[in-house]
Structure 1
Amino acid sequence: MQMIKQVGLVAALLSTLTSCTQDTKSYKPSATIQQEARSGKPGANQFAAWDLSYIGEYQAALEAWEAPYGPGRPIRAISAADSDAFVALQPVNAREYILRRARTERIVILNEAHHNPRHRAFAASLLPELARLGYRYFAVEAINKLDTLLNRRGYPTLATGYYTKEPQFGQLLRTAGQSGFKLVAYDYGFTNDGPMNEQVKSRETAQARNIQQILQADPQARIVVYCGFAHVHEGPNGMATQPSMAYYLRELTGLNPFTIDQTTLTEAGTRSGENATYRLAKAPESAVFLPTGNQAYPAAGPNMSVDVNVFHPRTTYVQGRPAWVFTARRRPVPLKQQLAVGYPCLVFAYDAREDLATALPVDIVELQSATDHKALALDKGRYTLVAKGPAGNVQTWSVKR
């Protein structure tokens, strides 16, 4: 991505060192997160990766996810034959390929790694065009069924879900609503009792049945499904030894979904944590790899059973942020306000059109010092910015982009 020009910023200080009506307690500073990651508790690094992603610390989130494996993990091997076969493929723009394929599909299933906001940014880039192709339902694993006002409200709150408080996820949901999609929850109605195999089957079949209900109510529906990790697999061993949601959905509906994986050909916190095929891939943009014919390469993972793997190149940075957080609409906004809350601090950006008491921030950055010049990614409009310091003090001001 080319360097993006800075945009003008109009700021007016509203209040300093006061209390904040927004719920900033759900977001932790990175020092606290890293301390919790060292606790030794089961899953501590996984939770740390999620928490770091929520505050925009992308690289740290990737590293936290990889930390349990240790620095000595051997690089995953790939055979010479597989290597030769892959390097002979040609990369094509992933977004263009997916949208072309989607013209003739009824169900598109796209997955994410829950600690990787880049996958959400890519998914958001697809939604406006998918809506123009006639897709009307956006079924999202991470949405809480109890948030019955989400479609009317148009933006996420803490009630919306667990992963949805991450700003790129919030942007994904806002983009869906603005594009005309109906947001649908589908990860409910299963049991967590009994042997693990039974729990897995209960969840995967419940997810598929809940998505099937969309087609039962609207037989001509075209649906985009957004899930995590292995739920996208169509094969009989998609969930290690059992079928996953995508398999059951095909069985229930008779429709063969167009399944897209983002979790295999994507960067990790360490090179040794990456798929071997990823290290062979060469493309300047998100891509799928095609042979001389027109069938996308789907075999990057040994247990993978999807129609296509999307390759995302290594992240580059613009104004202290991953370049992919910025788009033609969401431009870099430098923080020019002098902060009095101390460092390190979290800075939250809230859309002034949304209820500031309940809406989740559209962007978050952590500043380590007065010389830390990370920019916010903001669309045109008015925003309330809130800086929260290490002692809990907050500073609030408004900006217009």
Structure 2
Amino acid sequence: MSLFDVYPLFDIMPVKAKDVYVYDENSNEYLDLYGGHAVISVGHSHPTYVNNLTNQLEQLGFYSNSVQNPLQKELAFKLENASGCKDYQLFLCNSGAEANENALKLASFHTGKKRVIAFKNGFHGRTSAAVAATDNQKIIAPINAQQEVDILSLGDLPSVEASLKKGDVCAVIIECIQGVGGLDESTAAFYKGLSKLCKQYGALFITDEVQSGFGRTGDFFAFQKYDLQPDIISMAKGMGNGFPIGGILIHPNIKASYGLLGTTFGGNHLACVACLSVLDILEEEKLQQNVKEVSNYFVEKAKSLPKVKSIKGRGLMLGLEFDFPVAELRKQLIYKHKIFTGSAKNPNVLRILPPLTIKKEHIDQFLNALKSELS
């Protein structure tokens, strides 16, 4: 049997990893500045993470959501304290796409409406409603196109209000920093205006923190820079440091009922322990502070790079924009300099999404390699 060939692959086969490094079958060491799509938050194979998951697996790896699971309650308690999202409710699932799917579904249940507003260059996943709210026609199948979605320009409040005035919008979904799109971010006035318009017209305000959450921007969630209170917050990626887990935080104004949402694997024992481990490590190692310090260092040093058009993003969710496509540059970095980086929908953006444990010396290694290629 062959694999269904949908991924263009680099000719590299990782066999182990430790903190910010990945090693291939020939023991070559690669600096990981991409974290497997921003998934690796507390470093590869962190000993606390490995030990906690191992111990849980020896006790109970999985049982269904039809029985008591105190780990879910412990996670909800710790997540509330870590994030500062007081009195929100937690629903656990398995991925970012599933988190956004449940967020949109819940918004539709709550409002009794069905249309969605999303934004150009946004990415929310590859499932039914989530992919319809994603600005990439290549991945929207005809069956997904039945969803009613307005995709508007980022920053265009008049267009948002014109769409909301029709009275059938259940939700506005937005990444406060666009990930796949290329690290674009609008203004505080826009995000605050968006929240206000949602309240005015009875639509739920959903912030997609799948990539930007769990400390990656220096704040626990990216929206917190703007002092917002979303109705629903979606999260995944760095939440489990590689173990599949996602979830949504739900404002207390939204009421639960039996059967409203559901999942087989979501919130299982191993997933909860993975996320609890991440939260403990974030706090114990003061990784949000590390994010801010290393980010400031990166941005200051990157200003001296030749051919850089702009430095985008926040924290360790960063992009270097050039005036040329970066595909060949990425190949040189990975094959010649042994450094993983990421791409974006914007072909001129090099994405930097390392583990949050990264140090300044790792940034120096990357910038020196980049300088040698750009000169």
Would you say same fold, with TM above 0.5? no
Name the TM-score, length of structure 2 as normaliser: 0.32
TM-score, normalised by the number of residues in structure 1: 0.30
Q: Of Structure 1 and Structure 2, which has the larger fraction of its residues in helix?
A: 2
Q: Which has the larger radius of gyration?
A: 1
